[in-house]
Structure formats: structure tokens, C-alpha cells
Amino acid sequence: MALRKWKELAHTLPGAPGGCELNVSVENWRQVALDLAAGGARLHALWADPQRGATVRAVFIADDFLLLLNLGLPEKAAYPSLSDIFPAANRMQRAAADLTGIRAQDSDSRPWLRHAAWPAEFHPLAPGAAVRTPEELRPDDYPFVRVTGDGVHEIPVGPVHAGVIEPGHFRFSVVGEKVLRLEERLGYVHKGIEQLFGRTPLLAGHRLAARVSGDSAVAYSWAYCQALEGLSRVAAPARASWLRALALEAERIANHLGDLGALGNDAGFAFGLAQLSRLKELWLRATEAAFGQRYLLDFIIPGGVALDPAADRLAQLAECARGIDKEAATVREIFDEHAGVRDRFVGTGTVTPDLATRLGLVGLAARASGHNRDLRADLPCTPYDALAVRKALRHEGDVAARVAVRFDELSESIRLVAAILREAPAGPTHTEVAAPAAGQTAVGAVEGWRGPVVLGLTAGENGSIQRCHPHDPSWQNWPALEYAIIGNIVPDFPLINKSFNLSYSGHDL
């Protein structure tokens, strides 16, 4: 009942389907969060806007609506923490404090993104912030949580890793090979994405959004354009919306093929890596032939899409998808029947449905732990409201369940590709978008291959961006990895980590 009360008090929010917005006081901030949690809603993003006074914003998604909660604060005031209600808020609040100086009360005060790359009193997104020179930087002693006891020792891994991988530090506390605790630290690259948005024209921000986390370029650029089009009161043409969905499913297929192959390799099954890598390469070549890019960084643009692929190229894409579907089904049978693979997958890295609820797990990892949510089906935008997406669901919560969800989603995405190519209407693929009035805020939300990509966008003066916060689902799921490894052995970490395959880049804002 309380959940519905807050929804009824909210007003319509531009952008994502089912979106609404509510301004609250400091006194109501936690109560609304408690009521939302009790009603099954999850926190999907939290950020701060220090422009024109301090504002903290949080996005919650329930079964049938999305709510943006706005908390206005006096300058330099703190706000009540939400981390005891939604554990994923911990790192979001710490990141907001590093970037803006707006802090949560009675919460973890350790830096998250700063890494001594700038002085503690300096905040890159604060009004008037100036670039600091290297001479002004000071070392930072980050206080990891220590585990003590007989036979306990630490294994530090990273932040620099072997191979082509972005930096992340993992601090294992172990007895023998058994992991007692894992603590992560991320955000080493310091790309300055959110500050760069503030120097990017509003109508060009989709290109930067697509590069927040390159393996989710379609999801991010669509979320950005969804928010911008909501602010501008413009709807993309019908054919453009169907082509956007085609690109999103193409992105999902490529990532699932790559990750399933890598999971086979981490289980010592090189055959799986070879076959699924071959299928991914075939798919990327077909994608490039149809869209002009292997990875669709610049396909989705404000008002539509950049091009309408030729009919013969789309036919070749459909044929490629059908072939991949058959071959992937054969590889899946081999995975399921291989005793060595089953031994590595089953019971490894388990996140129970109850733990998934408490941690606020999202996306494919949540669906492998019994949580049946997918924005394509729950809050569908065009054309997903006409496609009847079938959700993939498992309850075991282990590596095997996450592998099964990936195979199921791969097959479903291939079905959706065929349906989109069969049913997409003819017509224009682009309409003009004008810059909206300053001060308005919208939220875009798109179910990427990892989970919901959420983007908050506030328009500035003269076609500028006042604030843009792109939010990767990995913020919710990285903490779950710390729990999934407990009780497993150290050599299983690469396998468990790959079964989530979370974004480092999505943290480097």
C-alpha cells in the first residue's frame, strides 16, 4: 500500500516507459526508500547534482513503474544514507561524495573513485572545480577490511592484470585455498566521463554515452536518446525503434557468445572457447555487413538511427542468426553432457535467491538466482511491447545457472531478431530533435545484456548538458561477486568472475 501511495503522489517523468518523479524532503527520503524496498522495488542508480544547489537523485524500479526520487539540500549539507536499506547504495554514495562533495551521513566514508588522483578536498564535478596538477597529488592509504586468525593470509590481485583487461583490485583473505572474504576496489582509470558530459553539447551526448562501457554501446546510447527524446517531447519513427531493438539484440548475442566461450575456457574446455569464438566472429561480421560497424557505437542517434540497412544485408543477418542458433544448441548439449564442465559449473559461485534479494542483484545474474525481471517485458518500450519477450529464469544461482540463462537468452535474442526483421514496419528512420529547455530532467532505462542501463539527464542552458549520470548494472552486481566467492577455492575465481562478467569501465566515471 505504501508503495502505491508514493507512486500516486509522483508526476510523470520524461524518458523511460512507466517513469514518474517525486520530490521529497530530508525527513521523507529514508521513509520512501523503506516503503519502496518493502514493496519489492530496487535501487538502480544514485547520484548527486551540485549545480544550482545540491540535489541527490535516486532511481528505483518496481514491477510496473520507475521512480526518480529527488532530494534538494542546502549547500554542503549531508543526506541520510540508504546503504542499510539497499547495500548497493554504499559505493554509489561514496562515488557521489568523491565527485561532488555531497556526502551521506553515517555511512562508509572511504573514497571509491578518487584513488588519490586528486586531493580529498577537491571535487571534479563541483561548481568552479579546476584541474589539479600532478605536483598537488598525495598518496592514499586505503583501509581494506582485515580478516585475522590462525592460518589466514591475504592474496592481492591487480589492479594491473595479465592480458587485455581494465584495472581492478581484488583482496582475498584465505585459509589454504578456501576464500573467507573478498574485497574489491575499482575505478582506477579516471576517464572523467561525467565531467566530459558537462562539456558536450546535448545533441551530441549519445556518442559519449555509447563509449561509457563499449560492450554495451547500444544500451547506453539508446538510454541517452530515450532521455533526450523524452525531454524534447519527440518520438523516434516506428521503423527506427524496431531497428534499435534489432541492434540491442545483436549486441546481446555477441556478448553472450563471447562469454560462453570464455566460460568454457575457464573450465579447461578449450573446445567451447574455439567454437563459440568462431560463432561470435561470424555474428560480428554479419553485424558489420548490415550496420557498418562490428560494435554499434554510433548507430543509435537522437531521433532515430544513423542508417537503414539494406534488405539483402538484413536477410544475410537473419540467415547467420539461424545458423548460430543451431550450432549454439549443439555446443550447449556438449557443455551439459561433459562431466568435467559440469563439475566446474554446478554449485560454484552460488548466490541464493534470498541473498540476491538482499543485495539487489539485477539483470542476467538476478534471473539466474530466481528474480524474474527484465525491462523488455516489464516496462517495454516500442517495439518490445509487441514482441512478448520470454524471460530466462533459473533458481540455483551458481555458475551453471548463469550459463543456462545466457544460452536461453541467446536463443531468445535470435528469435527476436527473426521477429523484428519479419515485422518491422517500413518508413523513415529519423526525425529532428531540438534541444529542450534548461533545468528539465529525464531518465532513460534500457535492458542491456548485463541488466538495466539507467541514465539520468538534466538539460543545461543553450543546448548544453547540466548533468548526465550513466549507470551500469555492474554497480549492483560487483558486491554480489564478493559473496559468490566465499567458501570456494581461489582457482575458481576467474570462472565465477567471468560468469558475471561485470564492467570495470562502467565504474570509471
Domain membership of residue 40 (yes or no) is yes
What CATH number corresponds to the domain at position 460? 1.10.645.10
Do 87 and 206 share a domain, yes or no?
no
Cα-flanking dihedrals φ and ψ of residue 302, to 5°? Answer: -55, 125
Cα-flanking dihedrals φ and ψ of residue 200, to 5°? Answer: -110, 135
Domain membership of residue 120 (yes or no) is yes
Which amino acid type is present at position 421? L
Dihedral sign (CA 253, 258, 259, 260): positive
Quote the CA–CA distance of 244 and 300 in Å, as a whole number: 7
Do 201 and 92 share a domain, yes or no?
no
Do 268 and 353 share a domain, yes or no?
yes
Question: Of 126, 141, 172, at which residue does a domain stop?
Answer: 126
Strand order in the sheet with 11-12: 11-12, 19-24, 66-73, 54-61, 42-49
Quote the CA–CA distance of 265 and 271 in Å, as a whole number: 8
Question: Of 105, 126, 147, at which residue does a domain stop?
Answer: 126
Which grid cell is 439?
533545468
Do 370 and 493 share a domain, yes or no?
yes
Per-residue confidence in pLDDT tens, the chain, 509 aa: 577 777 888 899 999 999 999 999 999 999 999 999 999 999 999 999 998 789 999 999 999 999 999 999 987 789 999 999 999 999 999 999 999 999 999 899 999 998 887 888 889 998 877 766 655 666 678 899 999 899 999 999 988 887 778 899 999 999 999 999 999 999 988 888 999 999 999 999 999 999 999 999 999 999 999 999 999 999 999 999 999 999 999 999 999 999 999 999 999 999 999 999 999 999 999 999 999 999 999 999 999 999 999 999 999 999 999 999 999 999 999 999 999 999 999 999 999 999 999 999 999 999 999 999 999 999 999 999 999 999 999 999 999 999 999 999 999 999 999 999 999 999 999 999 999 999 999 999 999 999 999 999 999 999 999 999 999 999 999 999 999 999 999 999 999 999 999 999 998 88
Do 209 and 65 share a domain, yes or no?
no
Do 311 and 387 share a domain, yes or no?
yes
Alpha carbon of 294 to those of 197, 213, 277, 282, 302: distances in Å?
25, 15, 14, 10, 21
Which grid cell is 123?
571535487
pTM above 0.85? yes
Do 214 and 71 share a domain, yes or no?
no
What CATH number corresponds to the domain at position 28? 3.30.460.80
Domain membership of residue 164 (yes or no) is no
Instruction: Indicate the SS3 state at residue 51.
Output: coil
Q: Give the H/E segment covering residue 415.
A: helix 399-423
Which residues on adjacent β-strands are paired with residue 178? 175, 489
SS (H, E, C) 166-209: CCCEEEEEEECCEEEEEEEECCCCCCCHHHHHCCCEHHHHHHHH
Residues making up the chain, counted from first to last: 509
Do 202 and 100 share a domain, yes or no?
no
Quote the CA–CA distance of 370 and 430 in Å, as a whole number: 39
Domain membership of residue 174 (yes or no) is no
Domain membership of residue 41 (yes or no) is yes
Which grid cell is 167?
584495472
Instruction: Give the side-chain half-sphere CA count within 13 A for 267.
Output: 27
Domain membership of residue 342 (yes or no) is yes
Which grid cell is 410?
541467446
Do 100 and 216 share a domain, yes or no?
no
- Is the separation of the CB atoms in 88 and 73 below 8 Å? no
Do 300 and 403 share a domain, yes or no?
yes
- Other CB atoms within 10 A of residue 196 CB: 15
Domain membership of residue 293 (yes or no) is yes
Cβ-based burial of 442 (10 A; exposed 0-12, middle 13-18, buried ≥19): buried
Domain count, the chain: 2
Sheet strands (E) in 294-440: 300-301, 304-305
Which grid cell is 31?
521513509
Quote the CA–CA distance of 322 and 418 in Å, as a whole number: 8
Do 499 and 420 share a domain, yes or no?
yes
Which residues on adjacent β-strands are paired with residue 156? 171
Question: Of 99, 126, 153, at which residue does a domain stop?
Answer: 126
Domain membership of residue 56 (yes or no) is yes
Alpha carbon of 457 to those of 143, 283, 433: distances in Å?
34, 33, 15
Do 121 and 199 share a domain, yes or no?
no
Quote the CA–CA distance of 11 and 3 in Å, as a whole number: 14
Quote the CA–CA distance of 178 and 157 in Å, as a whole number: 16
| Torsion angle, alpha carbons of 301, 306, 308, 313, to 10 | -110
Q: Which residues form the domain of 240? A: 193-507
Comparing C-alpha atoms, which of 353, 372, 380, 362 is closest to residue 43? 362
Cα-flanking dihedrals φ and ψ of residue 417, to 5°? Answer: -60, -45
Quote the CA–CA distance of 37 and 265 in Å, as a whole number: 39
Quote the CA–CA distance of 200 and 54 in Å, as a whole number: 22
